Structure 1
Amino acid sequence: MPAFTRVLARATFAALVLVASPLTLAQTPAAPPPVSAFFGNAPFGDARLSPSGRHLAVRASAPGKRDFLTVIDLDTNSAKVVAHYNDADVRNFYWINDRRLVFDTHDKGVGPGDQRFMPGMYAVDFDGGRFVELASRNFVNSSTGTRITRRLLPPSSQMAGNTPWVDSDETYALAPVGDTRNELSHVDLLQVNTVSGQYKTVPRPGATRGWLLDHKGEPRLAITYKDLTTTLQYLDPATGKWRELTSFPTFKETAATIEPVAFGPTGTLFVTARGKAGTTAMHTFDVNTGKLDPQPLLSAPGYDIDGELVINRDKVLGMQFRTDAVSNEWFDAGMKAIQQDVDKLLPTTVNLMSVPARGDSPLLVVTAYSDVVAPVFFLYNSKTKSLNKVGEARPGIDPTQMGRQQFLRYKARDGLDIPALLTLPPGAKRTSLPLVVMVHGGPWVRGKSWGWAADSQFLATRGYAVLEPEFRGSLGFGSNHERAGYKQWGLAMQNDIADGVRWAVDKGLVDPKRVCIAGASYGGYSTLMGLVNDPDMFRCGISFVGVTDIGLLFDNGAHFSSDTSRDVKQHSLPERIGDPVKDADQFKATSPLQQAARITQPLLLAYGGVDRRVPINHGTALRNAVMRTNKQVEWIEYPEEGHGWALEKNRIDFWGRVEKFLDKNIGSGAVR
C-alpha cells in the first residue's frame, strides 16, 4: 500500500462554523492584490447539503494544509473533519444518503508528469465512522487486509455522482476500459456497496460511452458507440431488457441528434435538441414512443441551452443554465419566491441556488457571484429567511479593486455578430487604454460567461482592458455561428479577433499602439496567427500550450503521444479544420510554424513538458524557427505540467512573468 495517511480531526475548524455575514464591499487599498490572490490555490471549494438538509459537507483548506472534507451539523452549528490526508487533497464529493458521503482525492502539490497515484474512491459517514476504501490509488489493483481479501474497484474508476433519490448505502462508479490501441473501448457502470465495498458490473448493451440513472437511482439509459454512430439504449423496467430509443451520427449533427440530460422524479427523460432557429433547447423525450416533444420546455433566443436541471425527489424545480451569464430559471412557484427573497438580501450579485434531495427541507446553498465578486457561498433558510456565509472562493479579492465587465456584440467584417466580454480596469476613464485580447481555447467550446475570472481581473487590476471574443466556431450561440468557423483557422476566425480590436479602437476605448494578443491551446495558435496576419495591430503576443502547426494536430511525430482519438482525427478534424492532404496549401498558409519568419514582435511562449493535447514539440519547433530572425522570444517550460498549469507555484510564476512582459511592451514600462 502507498503512504496515504488519513487523519480524523475532532477539533472544530472555526472558519467553517456558520456566521451571519452580509456581502459587503471594503475600502479600496492602495495596491492591487498580489498574483497569489488570483492564482493561488483556493481555500474553499464546494458545499453540499445532505438529502434532509441536516448536514452540510464542505471541502476547504487552511494555510499550509491539504484540502479536507468537513461536515457541519446545522442543528448544533458544529463542524468535524471527516477526511484529511497528509499526502493528498480531497477533491470531488457527494452524499449518497443522509448519513454517508463518497469522495476521491488528488495531489495539488504534484504536476501531471509526476503523478504516481490514481484518485482512489472512498466512503465515510457524516461523523467520520465506517470509513471504507473503495478504489485503490495504485495503478495496479491490490487486495486490502491481511486475512480477508476484497476486490477493490479498478484504479481508473470515477465517481458517477448520482443523486440520492433513495436511502441506500449503494452508489455507482464509472470505469473506463481501454482497447488494444490504448484508446477508450467502453465505460463500465459498477454498482458499489459503500459499507462492504463489494461491487458488481451492470450488464451493458454495447460499447457504452455514458450512462444515465433514473428517478429511482437505477441504470436506465446507456449511450453506446459503434460504426461512427451514437445510440441511446433504454433499459425497459417492464421487460428488464435494453432496447434502442434513437440513434444518430457521432461526428455529424442531424435533426435526430439529442443530448440526454436527466430523468425527472416521474421518470420523464429530459434532453437538449437543436430547433429550426439553430439553437438547442430543453425538451422532454417519450421513452415509450421514441419521440421528441417538439415544444421546448426552456429555450433562450440566440443561445444554446447549456446547464443542468435542479431536481429534488418530488419534482423538477428549474434549471441552472447560461446565456450571457449563469443563472437559475425556476418552473416551481415556491422556488421563484425564494429566489426573490435571496436576491433582496444579496442585490449586487447573481445568486445561484442548489437544493437538498428532500423537498421538505427549508435550506438551500447559495453561490453568489458577479463580475467583481468571486464566488461566495451562503446557507439560506427559507423559513426564517436567514442568510449565513459559509466560505469564499477568493478571500484575498476585494470587489472594489476589480474591473467592471460587460457582455456585448460587435460586427465582423462580413456582418456576422461576434459576442464578446469586455473587462475594463477599475476606475478607468474608458479612453485610450492598453488592451489585451484573450482568445479562448478549444476552439469548439464556449468561452467564458459574465462573471469574475482570475485572468481577466488580474489583467484589469494591472491597468489593461481585456477583450474576450466568442469568434465564429465557438459553441453556445447556435449552429450557424459554430459552422461559420469550419476550416477557418487563421482565416475568418482570425479576422473576428482583429475586428474586435478595430471595434474597440473605433469606440475610443483602446490605444491602437498598445494592444497585445494572448491565449492558450487554440488561443495560443490564434495569438501566433494574429502576430503573422496583423503585425501593425498587435505589439506583442503571449502563447501558452499553443498549437503551432495544424498538421501536428493530426500527427505529432513518433516520439509524442496524443489524447485525441483516431476517430476524431479521421472523422471530425477534417470537417472542422481541414484535410491534411486536400487542404495542404491552406494548412501551410495558416501555420505559425511555416510562417515563423513573419513574427517580428516580442513573444512569450510557455509549454508543459508532458502535454498530450499539444505536445511540447509544438513550442520548441516554433521557438527555434522564430529566433532565427527574432530574438525577442521569452521561453517558459514547466517540465511536470500538462495542458495547463496544475501547480500553484507555476500559475503564480507564469502570471508574474506575464505581468512583467505586458508592462514592458504595452504597459507603463513600454517605450512610447
Structure 2
Amino acid sequence: MPTRCSSTLRIAALLACALAMPAFGAEAAPPAPPPIADFFNNPAFSDANLSPSGKFLAVRYSNDNKRDRLIVIELATNTIKVAAQFSDRDVDTFQWVNDERLVLDTTDKSVGPGDAIYAPGLFAVNRDGSSFKQLVQVSGSFVQEHGVARTTLPADHYLVEQKGAQASDDVYVINPKRDGLDEGGEIKYVNLVRLNTVTGRAETIKRPGPAQGWLLDHKGDPRLCIALEKNIETIWYLDPASKEWRQIASFDAFLGGKDAFTPLAFGPDGTLYVLSDAGKDKMALHTFDLAANKVTEKPLVALADYDFSGRLITSRDKLLGVRYLSDARATVWFDEKMKALQATIDLALPATANMINPPARPDSPWVLVQSYSDKQPEHYALYNLDTGKFTSIGSTQERIVPAQMAEQELVRTTARDGLTVPAWLTVPNGKRKNLPMVVLVHGGPYVRGNEWRWSADSQFLASRGYAVLEPEFRGSTGFGTRHYRAGWKQWGLKMQDDIADATKWAIAQGIADPKRICIAGASYGGYATLMGLVNDPDLYKCGIDWVGVTDIKLLYTGHWSFTSDMSSAYLKYGAPTLIGDPEKDAAQLRATSPLLQAARITQPLLLAYGGADRRVPLYHGKKFLEALKEHNQNVEWVVYQEEGHGWSLPKNRIDFWGRVEKFLARQIGTP
C-alpha cells in the first residue's frame, strides 16, 4: 500500500497529496481526543464514479469548505475539468448518462430543511463542462449561470437513480402526483418520464395503475411498475413480446406474506432478481420465473445469520457478482477474473473491507475501490489492472486518523425470553473493563441499526472514553423474519426489555460500570430512551433524546400545526399491526407513553428537537417537557429551528454533540 501520491494521477490543488491514502498501521494516537468537528463537519470529498468506459472519473468535491462541485478527470492524461459548479448551491446526486455526458441535481448545504426554498432541479453537462443545460426547474426559479435555457420541466420532477444502459442521451425522472398543490400532499401516484439530456424532450411512460415505484431493465428501459392501492401492492411487468403490462404478483404492502417479495434488479439477460424469504426465516436473493409468475425455489445467494441485502454487479452482457451485507459488506463474484482481483486487492489492503466497482463497459485498466473498516472512514482509490498500483482519490472524513479510533464488534446477547439479540459494541482503545457506557438505540424501529463500519456517533463517544452498545432489538430488520415480527406491538415492552437485557450483559461481562450508564437515541431511539428511564430507573443514570417520539397516539392524531410525512395508508393499514391500534390497544399505548409516564422520570435528561420536523414534530418534545418539568428540573432543552428529523447542518451537529459531551461528563464521566 503506497503512502504517498502515485504519479499516475494528479488532481491539481484540489485532490493532491493532502488526500493521500492513510497508512492503516499508523503509530499510536496522541493523548488529546480529536475535535468534534473532525467527526461531524461536511467532508470535502464525498463521492466518485467511473464513466461507463472507465476512462474518466467524476468526483464531487468542495475546495476550502466552499460549494460542492463536480470535477471530471481524464485518467489517461490526468486532465482535470470542473464540469459543474454553482455560486448559490451544491452539486448533490450525479451519474453518468453516457461516456460523454453527466446529469446532476443540487442541494444547499448551508441551510436546514426548515429554511430550504429550492427543489433539487436537474442539470446535464458534458464532461468537459460544455453543453450545460437545465432540465428541471428549481422551485420555479432558474439558475442563470452558463446561459441556461428556459425550456425546463416543473420542479416536481426528480432523477431516477438507476443507471440503465448508459448508451444514449436519455435518463428517467419521476413525477409524483399529490393530493393538493403543496409538497405536504399525499402521493397518489408517480409518473415515470423519459428525458433527453441534450434536447430536453420529455415523454411520460404509460403506467398500469397507481404507481409508487419503477424498475428499469439492464438496457435502461422501464420493465417493472409497483402500484399501491390501500394496503395492496401490485407488481406489473412490461412484457417485451406483447409490449403490454401484465400483473405478476399482489400482496400486503405493509405486512408482507408468504407470496411477498421485493424486486431488486434485472440482469443483462433479462432475468429478474428479487428478495424473498421463500417461506423460511431469512430473506435471500432469488430469481423470478416470469413465465410462471413465481419466485424460484433455490436461492442464488443466502446467508445463514442475515437477511440478504445488496445489489447486482454487472458488465454490459454478464452478471459479474453480487454485493451483500452480513456484519460488513462483501462481494460474491461469479466471474473468475473479478474473484482473483478481489483476492489481490484484499491482500494489499488486509485491514479493510474492499468494494471493487468495475466500469460498465471496460475500455481502460482502472477499477474504483472503496475501502473502509470500523476505524477507517470510507476511502476511494483507483486500482490499475496493468501496473497493480493504487492511486488515492480521497476519504469521506479526511481528518480522521484510524489509529485514534476504537474497535467495533458484533456481540450476541440473550433476552430474558431466550431470543438472541445482536448488539454492536465499541470500546475505547486499550480499555475494556468497568467503563462508563452509552446505550445508543437506533431509530426506525423496523430497520437495521448498524453494520461493521466507521460511525461518527459511536466513534465520537468512544473517543471521549465511553463504551457504546447498540442493540439490534427485536423488530430490527436484517436478522430474519422471526426477529422482525417479534417486535410487532412491542414498543416499550419486549423491545425495551431487549435493550435492558443487552445492557445487563455488558455489566455482567465487566465492560460497563453499572453506576455509570446512560441511554440515548433519536426518533424511535429517543422514545426507547424515555421508556428506558421509566422501566429501568436503576439501570440508566441519565438519558439523551433527540427528535424522539413521546406518545404513540400523537403519531396518529397529529396536530393542526403540521402535516406528517407518514402516509395515511401506513397509519391505517401498517402501523396498527406493527406499533399498535389507537382504539383496540388504547390501554397498552397509555401504559407505554413517555408523555403519560413523565412523572416517573427523575433522571437527568438532554432533549433536542427540530423546528421543521415532519416525522416527529416539535410539539412531541414541547408537550413532554411541560409534563416532565413538574417533577424533574434536571432537564436540558434545545431546539434547532431550521432542522427536520435529524441535524443536517455541521454547526448544529457540532453544537449538539458538544452538549452531549458536557452532559455525559457531568452525569457519568470519570470522577
TM-score, normalised with respect to structure 1 = 0.95
Moved more, 161-170 or 112-121: 161-170
The within-5 A match list for 1:329-348 is: 329-348=332-351
CA distance in 1, matches of 2:413, 2:65: 46
Q: CA deviation at 1:151?
A: 4.2
Q: 1:575-601: CA deviations, max 9, x gaps?
A: 011111111111111100000011000
CA distance in 2, matches of 1:315, 1:333: 12
CA distance in 2, matches of 1:13, 1:144: 28
Q: CA deviation at 1:384?
A: 2.0
- C-alpha change, 1:20 and 1:425, in structure 2 (3 Å) is closer
Q: 1:53-76: CA deviations, max 9, x gaps?
A: 010000111223111110011001
Secondary structure at the aligned position of 1:16 is classed as: coil
Native 8 Å contact 1:593 1:625 kept in 2: yes
Aligned to 1:42: 43
CA distance in 2, matches of 1:26, 1:43: 23
Q: CA deviation at 1:164?
A: 4.6
Moved more, 214-223 or 22-31: 22-31
Moved more, 351-360 or 83-92: 351-360
Specify the code of the residue in structure 2 equivalent to 1:393: T
Secondary structure at the aligned position of 1:357 is classed as: coil
Native 8 Å contact 1:350 1:370 kept in 2: yes
Q: Are positions 1:564 and 2:563 aligned together?
A: no
Secondary structure at the aligned position of 2:14 is classed as: helix
Aligned to 1:269: 272
Q: CA deviation at 1:424?
A: 0.2
CA distance in 1, matches of 2:374, 2:218: 36
Aligned to 1:475: 477
CA distance in 2, matches of 1:551, 1:29: 49
Native 8 Å contact 2:70 2:83 kept in 1: yes
Q: CA deviation at 1:141?
A: 7.2
The within-5 A match list for 1:609-620 is: 609-620=611-622
Secondary structure at the aligned position of 1:14 is classed as: coil
Q: 1:286-307: CA deviations, max 9, x gaps?
A: 2222122111000101211111
Aligned to 1:237: 240
CA distance in 2, matches of 1:15, 1:133: 26
CA distance in 2, matches of 1:507, 1:189: 54
Gaps of 5+ in 1: 1-10
Q: Are positions 1:201 and 2:201 aligned together?
A: no
Secondary structure at the aligned position of 1:407 is classed as: strand
Native 8 Å contact 1:59 1:68 kept in 2: yes
Q: CA deviation at 1:161?
A: 2.2
The within-5 A match list for 1:109-120 is: 109-120=110-121
Aligned to 2:532: 530
Aligned to 1:486: 488
Aligned residues, how many?
656
Native 8 Å contact 1:154 1:175 kept in 2: no
Secondary structure at the aligned position of 1:15 is classed as: coil
Q: CA deviation at 1:361?
A: 3.9
Specify the code of the residue in structure 2 equivalent to 1:100: R
Aligned to 1:4: none
Secondary structure at the aligned position of 1:70 is classed as: strand
- C-alpha change, 1:632 and 1:149, in structure 2 (3 Å) is closer
Counterpart pick for 1:463 among 451, 462, 465: 465
Aligned to 2:15: 16
CA distance in 2, matches of 1:412, 1:251: 27
CA distance in 1, matches of 2:90, 2:452: 30
Aligned to 2:170: 170
Secondary structure at the aligned position of 2:510 is classed as: coil
Native 8 Å contact 1:122 1:135 kept in 2: yes
Please tell me the root mean square deviation across aligned C-alpha atoms, in Å: 1.9
TM-score, normalised with respect to structure 2 = 0.95
Q: Are positions 1:156 and 2:156 aligned together?
A: yes
Q: Are positions 1:543 and 2:545 aligned together?
A: yes
CA distance in 2, matches of 1:616, 1:327: 40
Native 8 Å contact 1:50 1:56 kept in 2: yes
Q: 1:145-166: CA deviations, max 9, x gaps?
A: 9x99864223122111232525
- C-alpha change, 1:287 and 1:413, in structure 2 (3 Å) is same
Counterpart pick for 2:404 among 401, 405, 408: 401
Native 8 Å contact 1:17 1:79 kept in 2: no
Q: 1:357-378: CA deviations, max 9, x gaps?
A: 1145432111110111111111
Aligned to 1:443: 445
- C-alpha change, 1:17 and 1:100, in structure 2 (3 Å) is farther
Aligned to 1:93: 94
Native 8 Å contact 2:565 2:614 kept in 1: yes
Q: Are positions 1:410 and 2:413 aligned together?
A: yes
Q: CA deviation at 1:218?
A: 0.8
Secondary structure at the aligned position of 2:438 is classed as: strand
Aligned to 2:130: 129
Secondary structure at the aligned position of 1:621 is classed as: helix
Q: CA deviation at 1:235?
A: 1.1
- C-alpha change, 1:360 and 1:626, in structure 2 (3 Å) is same
Aligned to 2:5: none
Moved more, 376-385 or 35-44: 376-385
Counterpart pick for 1:248 among 246, 251, 270: 251
CA distance in 2, matches of 1:82, 1:506: 57
Aligned to 1:297: 300
Moved more, 279-288 or 354-363: 354-363
